[in-house]
Structure 1
Amino acid sequence: MLFLAITTIKATLVLIMAFGLALALRRAAAAVRHLMWTLVISGVLVLPVLSLILPRVPVTVRPVRSSVEEVTVLAPRTPAPPAAPASRDRQQFVFYAWLAGVLIVSGRLVMGVFRISLSTRRATRLENPLIAHISSQLALRRTIIVVRSDRTTIPLAWGILRPVILLPAESDQWTVERTRIVLSHELAHVKRRDCVTQVLAQIACALYWFHPLIWLAARQLRKEREQACDDQVLSLGNRASAYADHLVELAKSLRPAKRCWPVAVAMAQPHELETRVLALLDPQRRRERMTRMGAILCAVAAAAFILPLSTLRAPAQERTGIGGSVYDASGAAVPEATVTVSNLDTGSEDTTVTNAAGEYTFIGIPAGRYLLKVLKPGFAIFRQQDVKLTVNSAVRLDPVLEIGGVSESLEVVGHVHRPPQAPLTSSPHRIRVGGNIQATKLTYQVKPLYPETLQQQGIEGTVLLRAIITKDGTLNAPSMMVISTLANPELAKAAIDAVKQWRYEPTLLNGEPLEVATTITVHFKLQ
């Protein structure tokens, strides 16, 4: 949905500039303003397409933290039930609401095509020499079908490949002059290919149905289209006053339209009649048609603005980021864990803290290689090396934290047999395990005995033991091993004999006891 939001912002910028330009062109010919609105509506239609296919130019702004729109999965270390972000539901709701609006407006367009096609098939085809004469005046070489139908109350033209002009049933009572005026106007629509611009406007309204400026732009397009056709009718030699009289009489005599024809261009709309009549009777009004070269230059100018705009991209639009949830070994979410991502290419770091659901997000960070690290007191540090993040992509990583190991340090003091000296002992030094988990705690300790023979020989040493604290708080004797290769065997035996009698309160994770590894250091020193 971020793509939709960014596209809407770009379209809004285009539309605001278009209204400002229309104000500047208020003295220009209607054909010029109509071309401008055609290019504007075409521009907002191609904006999302160009944004997807053209290379993007990032804008250097500080990214705003938000929740991840979509992510790809990077396999976690162990399976864990990921919790769906709350923002995902909101994004889905917005998407389905937008899609529902698109379908409603598009359905109106499709139904209009179906109804007008049905009316055309059931209408009576007319053969009038005025058609060929006016087409010749307009240099119109296309084959035009003119029919009379009781399903329409106003003259209108429709069709992109095969243009059709529908006249109301009352048209058989019109004078030759009025028939000529009406046919001139509708054939001018065909000449100008106004049916194409009408369909483009309806598609834009369907895609941006929520945007009020697009509906106003479509209204302005329709207004300028009718005035441009009026100007073209006057260019055929018709007097402005007579043409205005026919418009007024048509608006009075025709019944209100019972059907909506979104794909057709109608001649006489009562709510626009006053503006059109005033424009017709204004002798200062410019009425020149748009030349082909002028249209090409305007299209090039519009492309020069739309193309760069479509390539602009704020960092958040890239949807580049890392996100996921942090779990413990039991599959429960871990809140208030510190998550850090370090860019291995630039050395920059970003840090966040998991929320109550254990979720974390980094949005808008630059593409590159990252180290992800998770810290939580009581747990072992989680590290994920070389997380690769490419442009316009996202990675989901769900770290699973393991219980941190327990470490105990004990110093056993012996003495040399010298009368002035007395043996000294020291208390064991314990490393505290913090965090929200209930850490293991040593409850019963037997101090190792310093072998007398080694004291007499003046031998000191350090014994490093590794063992497993079981769920009942005892040390698993088979798992106990000496990991210091230089330890004296007698000192090692003395340490093991004492340590295997130790007792602990087991580690509790979410109220359940767990086995944890412990490292015990025993120092044998002489004084």
Structure 2
Amino acid sequence: MPSDPYHWLVLVALKALVILPLVLLAVWASRRTSASVISLLLACAVIYVPLSPFLDGLLPHITLTIPFLKHTGAFPDNIPVLEEFERNNPMPANPAEIIFQGASSINPGDVILAIWLLGALVLLVTKLWRSMNTKLWFIGSRPVADGECTLHCLKRLCSKMGIKREPWLMYNSRVHGAQAVGILRPVILLPEGFSAMPKESREMVLIHELEHIRRKDVFGRLCLELISVLFWFHPCFWITLRRYNQKSEMACDDAVLNAGYSAAQYGEVLLAEGKALAGTEGGVPKELKPRVKYLLNKATDRHSLSKAARMKFFALFMLALVPMGLVSFSPYDDELGFETIAPTEGLKAVWRLNLGRGNIVVDSSGGGHHGRINGASWVNDPERGDCLSLDGVDDFITFRAPDADWTTKDFTFCVWLKPASGSDGGGLLLRGEFNQIWSKGIGTERTGAINYAEREIILAGPRYGPNKYFLYDPGLLPSFNYFGIGTARSTVALQEDEWMHLAMVWKIKGNEARTEMYLNGEPVEVKHLQRLFVTDLSDWPTKTWMFGVSDSPIVRGNNYEGCVSDLAIYQKALSQEEVQMVKKGNFSLEQQN
């Protein structure tokens, strides 16, 4: 099912490459079939192709994977339910998105859409101009007089062909051959010298034009022309439409032969009319050659279709075309999906970061704290599979903030990290405003004023400490940095270009807090550079958390560079055994047999 007009346009263009050539092949193989039937089949094909993408979500279909299609920007790379969630619950504003906002890149989809729209408008204006010129012909037209034999001939033929509403007959000096025009009020335009033609020739020409009116060809052509305007860039549509016009003329030629006139007689009338249109004295006009050849083919079925028969054939052809439309296209060989983790005590959020495409990251805890990727790219790692890579410059991830307390309650942060070669650490998870000011603030609530301050989990160096808390210190040592409360740092660093599982545990004991850190499930020594008092400084009340950016003085401007996977937040202090469970992907902390 198309997700937007651009997606529909691309799907139709691809399906037309499958359906229309098959229909044209069937037409070629059915050369002896009635032109009335073939023209109806071609019209059905042109109408069906734009409708076929809407069957993708209703009937089973075959999906052809073409990786190049992702460069068109037409195919959605997010899970539909997440797209809907984003529309209904917009991500709160984030200052980092403004600070890191670079020059907007050109979206290839927008360029393609602009070119398509320009081409469609040019073609539509051209066709409207021609239509207006045709209508201007009526200004110089004059009706056929009541007493003329041509008018009596028209009445007789209409009665014989079952046409209840007689068309107007008008002479026009600008036309060189008879033309049926008009949708609501049919009109046949005749050249000035028409009355001088032999009686039989006049009847043959009128039968041909009346058959166009009986078949509603003027309206049918209008509908198909509008479709061709939408798909002006697609050769299959133009070839099919040209073939339809040719078969429509042949179907009306059949009506002349079915009226009892010989192919030779009618062929001469066609050649004379064709020469008048071309303004030549000799030779056969190119577009008439297939029609003349068709007239002379005695093995061809020339039955015309009644209105009831046309309706039955239309329904039959549309049903027959359905299987051809059950081929869909996608740049991806699988459908995105995610599993929700069973409710677990203390679990606040789990961002697996493993979808492999799209700009939405899923909170698998079921809490709906989905995030948004800002610049970070998906990579397929040989060890961890699909994960996110941040460039250390302006890539980051924004998460909807879970209801988690980083200060007055036990708290655990777990994540898989692979710092890039040459990485100097930087910010990991920030709970603050990202205003490049490491600060505290004062807010109000019903019970009175509250103090709050920023928090950040970082990778830093070994130098900062007493009297050096505002020293810029890059490195790969996992650290807590809490404004106004304290700082704790691991004595063991992460390794460049190597996946390591990091767990940082905040434990409350009275009015103090202690931290524990684990690398790959094993405890490491932690230095508490400041005594961690749980003061009245509450967590910064932000609606979003940011991963990959830095705000504290120790790492300010130093953003994380490397890969990340499986970020989990618990409102409890995990034990070493539980940390090892999370390391293995057991976020529900269930005992495995």
- Give me the whole-angstrom Cα distance separating, in 1, the residues matched to 2:129 and 2:325: 32
Show the counterpart of 1:265. Answer: none
User: Which TM-score applies when normalising by structure 2?
Assistant: 0.56
Q: Provide the C-alpha distance between the structure 1 equivalents of 2:427 and 2:223, rounded to a whole number of angstroms.
A: 60
Give, in whole Å, the separation in 2 of the partners of 1:165 and 1:497: 97
In the alignment, the residues of structure 2 paired with residue 357 and residue 306 of structure 1 have an alpha-carbon distance, to the nearest angstrom, of: 53
The 3-state SS of whatever aligns with 1:469 is coil
State the 1:469 CA deviation.
Answer: 2.7
- Work out whether 1:215 is the aligned partner of 2:238: yes
Pairs within 5 Å for 1:54-453: 55=58, 57=60, 64=67, 66=70, 69=74, 74-76=90-92, 78-79=94-95, 80-81=97-98, 83=101, 88-127=106-145, 128-254=151-277, 256=279, 270-291=285-306, 294-307=309-322, 313-314=328-329, 322-323=358-359, 350-354=386-390, 377-381=425-429, 405=457, 433=459, 439-442=460-463
Question: Are the aligned partners of 2:32 and 2:300 in contact in 1 as well (CA < 8 Å)?
Answer: yes
- Displacement after TM superposition at 1:291 (Å): 4.8
Alpha-carbon separation, structure 2, partners of 1:75 and 1:319: 24
SS of alignment partner, residue 32 of structure 2 = coil
1:154 and 1:353, CA in 2 relative to 1: closer, same or farther beyond 3 A? farther
**Native 8 Å contact 1:338 1:374 kept in 2:** no
User: Equivalent residue for 1:421?
Assistant: none
How many residues are treated as equivalent by the alignment?
395
Identity of aligned residues (%): 21
Would the aligned equivalents of 1:123 and 1:150 in 2 still touch at CA under 8 Å? yes
* 1:466-494: CA deviation from partner (whole Å, max 9, x where unpaired): xx933588x99964599763799xxxxxx
Cα RMSD of the aligned pairs, angstroms, is 4.6
Aligned partners of 1:484 and 1:213: how far apart in 2? 71
Q: SS of the residue aligned with 1:509?
A: coil
What's the secondary structure of 2:113's corresponding residue? helix
Give the one of 22, 41, 51 matched to 1:46: 51
Alpha-carbon deviation of 1:304?
2.1
CA apart distance, 1:19 = 1.1
Distance 1:298 1:373, change over 3 A: farther
Structure 1, residues 244-273: CA drift from partner, whole Å, max 9, x if none? 11111222234559xxxxxxxxxxx93222
Structure 2 CA distance for aligned equivalents of residues 252 and 380 of structure 1: 81
In the TM superposition, what is the alpha-carbon distance from 1:338 to its structure 2 partner? 7.2
User: How far is 1:9 from its partner?
Assistant: 1.1
SS at match of 1:251: helix
Deviation at 1:497, TM superposition (A): 12
Q: Give SS of 1:152's match.
A: coil
The answer to whether the 8 A contact 1:60-1:314 is kept is yes
SS of match in other structure, 1:507 = coil
For 2:201 and 2:379, the matched residues in 1 are separated by 78
In the alignment, is the contact (CA less than 8 A) between 2:137 and 2:174 conserved in 1? Answer: yes
User: Residue 485 of structure 1 is aligned with which of 509, 530, 533?
Assistant: 509
Aligned partners of 1:497, 1:274: CA distance in 2, in Å? 94
What is residue 470 of structure 1 aligned with on the other side?
Answer: 470
- The answer to whether the 8 A contact 1:44-1:204 is kept is no
One-letter identity of the residue aligned with 1:78: N
**Deviation readout 1:219-250 (Å, 9 max, x if unpaired):** 11111111111110111121221111111122
After TM superposition, the structure 1 stretch with the greater mean CA deviation from structure 2, 29-38 or 211-220, is: 29-38
1: distance between equivalents of 2:377 and 2:223?
52
Structure-1 separation of matches of 2:184 and 2:416: 63
* In structure 2, distance between residues paired with 1:16 and 1:255: 31
The residue aligned with 1:262 is none
One-letter code of the match for 1:135? C
CA gap 1:51/1:354 in 2 versus in 1, 3 angstroms: farther
- Compared CA separation, residues 324 and 480, structure 1 to 2 (3 A): closer
Q: In the aligned structure 1, how far is the partner of 2:311 from the partner of 2:555?
A: 76
Pick one of 536, 549, 557 that aligns with 1:510: 557
In 1, are the aligned partners of 2:455 and 2:482 still within 8 Å (CA)? Answer: no
* Whole-angstrom distance in 1 between the partners of 2:483 and 2:258: 106
Residue 323 of structure 1: how far off its partner (Å): 0.8
Report the 3-state secondary structure (helix = DSSP H, G, I; strand = E; otherwise coil) of the residue aligned with 1:146.
Answer: strand
Which residue identity is paired with 2:91?
Answer: A
Amino acid at match of 2:128: V
Residue 449 of structure 1 corresponds to which residue in structure 2? none
What SS does structure 2 have at the residue aligned with 1:97? Answer: helix
- Aligned to 2:232, the other structure's residue is in SS state coil
**Which digits, 9 at most, give the CA deviation of each residue in 1:18-40, with x for residues without a partner?**
11111221121222211211211
Q: Write the distance in 2 (CA, Å) between the matches of 1:334 and 1:98.
A: 29
